[in-house]
Amino acid sequence: MKVRIPQGPSKADLMQQIQKFQDDAAALQADLDSREYSATAGGGLVSVTVNGLHEVKSVKISPEALEDAEMVEDLVTVAVNQAIGEARKTSEEEMAALQGSMNLPSIPGLL
């Protein structure tokens, strides 16, 4: 009696899946890069917007905050770091979801 070993996807099918995954990942990365993320600090005294590339797009400082330069520096730092953290978190979560949805074996450097 012969034992039949189930076959996985063919090399061509696997390459096609990998190409689709890479195309989807590139499209998602372009979308993530173009998104904007905003954060505030000091109860709204400072607000910062960054894009998915972690570039600061705008900084808004309330006139009330301008009386204390050191406080403004701290608030801008906090707001920038929060906005960049949100951009990074969103990117990691959405890329992980894409990778999980593809049912591909783990291949280092695929992205």
Q: Where are the domains of the chain?
A: 11-101
CB-based contact 60:72 (threshold 8 Å):
no
Note the pLDDT tens digit of each residue in 11-21.
888 888 889 88
CATH of domain 11-101: 3.30.1310.10
For residue 15, the Cα-to-chain-centroid distance in whole angstroms is 26
Confidence of residue 103 (pLDDT cuts 50, 70, 90): low
At 107, which amino acid appears? I
Task: Please tell me whether the overall predicted TM-score, pTM, comes out greater than 0.75 for this model.
Answer: no
Q: Where do runs of H (alpha helix) occur along the chain?
A: 11-34, 69-101
